Structure 1
Amino acid sequence: MPQRPSKEEYLPYYEQYIGLVGEESIIEILTKQLTSTTELLSDIPEQQSNYRYAEGKWTLKEVIGHISDNERVMAYRLLRIARGDQTPLAGYDQDEFMNGSTFQDWTLSQIIEDYISVRKATLALLRGLSEVAWQRTGTANDAPISARALAYIIAGHELHHWKLIQSKYLSH
C-alpha cells in the first residue's frame, strides 16, 4: 500500500486537498468516501439539488458533477504516470468543463450513478498498481507530480467540496 506523498511530489497548491486526507490507506479512504457520499447524496431531495447559494455559483448537481469530472482527469493523469508515460499532460479549466457539461439536465440519481461509476473505476485502477507504479512521477499542468499524490488529490478534492456543500448548500 502506498505511503502518503511527500511535499516534493506535488505543487504547494495541492496541499489544500492532500492536507485534508487522513492517515488510513488511500484505497480505504476512497472506498469509505464512496459509501458515505452516496448515502449523503441519496438523502437530498431532487429540488434541493438545483440550489445555488449565489448568482453565478454552481448548483449542487454541478458541484457533484465537478467532483466526478475532476476525479476522471486526475485518474487519467494517474494512469499515464503510473504506467511510466513521461508525456507532459495538459491542465484543465474547471469552468470550461462546467460550461460544456449538461449536469443541470440530469436528475440527482443520474449524478449519483455517475459518481459511483467514476469512483469504482478509480478504485479498480488503484488496486491494480504495483508499489513501483505508485511512486512514479510525471508532469501534469507543467509541474511534476507523483501517481500517489494524484490519488490523495482525488480524496482531498472531494473532502474540500463536501465542506463547501455542507456549509453553503445543505445548511440553508
Structure 2
Amino acid sequence: MEKISGEEYAQYYQTYVSLVPEGDIIQVLTDQMKETVGIVSKLDDEQLSYRYATGKWSVKEVVGHITDTERIMSYRLLSIARGETSSLPGYDENAYVEEAGFDDIPVRDLIEHYVSVRLATIQLIKSLSKMALERKGTANGHPVSTRALMMIIAGHEMHHRNIIVERYLSKN
C-alpha cells in the first residue's frame, strides 16, 4: 500500500496512521490478528480484569473496544467504497464500552468476536477495486478515504495493543 497523505483523514487519526508499517495492509492486518490473539489468550482472569487506573478500561474492555471500533471503521470503509455521499456519524467509544458488558463475556468469546470481525475486514478489503480504494467520503464531520480507513483500523489496534503491553501487562 502506498503512503497516504494527511489530507485523507482527520488529524486526530495521525497517531494511528503513523504506527502502521509500509507494506501489504492485508498482511499487516493478518499478522496483527495473530499477535493480538496470542497476547490476550495467554492472560488469566485477574490480568483480563486489571485496570491500571481508576476509570480506565479493563483488558477485556480494551479488546471489546478494538472490535467495536473495527466494525464501525469497516462500515465506513464499505460505505465510502460503495460511493456513499452522506456524512457518516461518529460514536461515543466510552458509551459503547459501558453498554457492552465486556467484562461479563468469556475471553474466548471476545477473541472469537474479534477474529470474526478482523476476517470480515480483510475479506472486504480484498474485494475492493482500485477505484473503490481511491474514494473519499465524510465520517464524523471529517473527510476520509477508504485507504486511510484501512490504515486507521490497523493503527488503532496497534495503539491499544501497545497500551495493553505497556500499561497492563508490565504492571500486573
TM > 0.5: yes
Rounded to whole Å, the distance in 2 between the matches of 1:30 and 1:4 is 16
Aligned partners of 2:19 and 2:159 also within 8 Å: yes
CA distance in 2, matches of 1:128, 1:47: 40
2:117 aligns with: 118
TM norm structure 1: 0.96
Unpaired runs of 5+ residues, structure 1, are none
Q: CA offset at residue 107 of structure 1?
A: 1.1
Q: Deviations over 1:106-134 (max 9, x none)?
A: 01111111110110010010010001101
> Residue type matched to 2:143 in 1?
P
Query: Deviating runs (4+, > 6 A) in structure 1?
Result: none
Considering only aligned residues, what root-mean-square deviation do their CA atoms show, in Å? 0.9
Query: What fraction of aligned residue pairs are identical, expressed as a percent?
Result: 49
1:113-158 Cα shifts (integer Å, max 9, x gaps) = 1110110010010010001101100000011100010010000001
Shift of 1:168: 1.0
Partner in structure 2 of residue 102 of structure 1: 101
Q: Distance in 2 between matches of 1:100 and 1:35?
A: 27
Rounded Cα–Cα distance in structure 1 between residues aligned with 2:33 and 2:147: 19
2:91 is aligned to 92
For residue 38 of structure 1, report the CA deviation from its aligned partner: 1.1
Aligned residue runs from structure 1 range 14-29, under 5 A = 14-29=13-28
What is the CA distance between 1:47 and its match in structure 2? Answer: 2.6
- Superposed, which structure 2 residues align to 1:20-169 within 5 Å? 20-169=19-168
Gaps of 5+ in 2: none
Q: Which amino acid aligns with 2:147?
A: R
Structure 2 counterpart SS, 1:100: helix
Query: TM-score scaled by structure 2?
Result: 0.96
TM-fit CA distance, 1:52: 0.8
Contact 1:46 1:107 in 2 (8 A): no
Aligned residues: 171
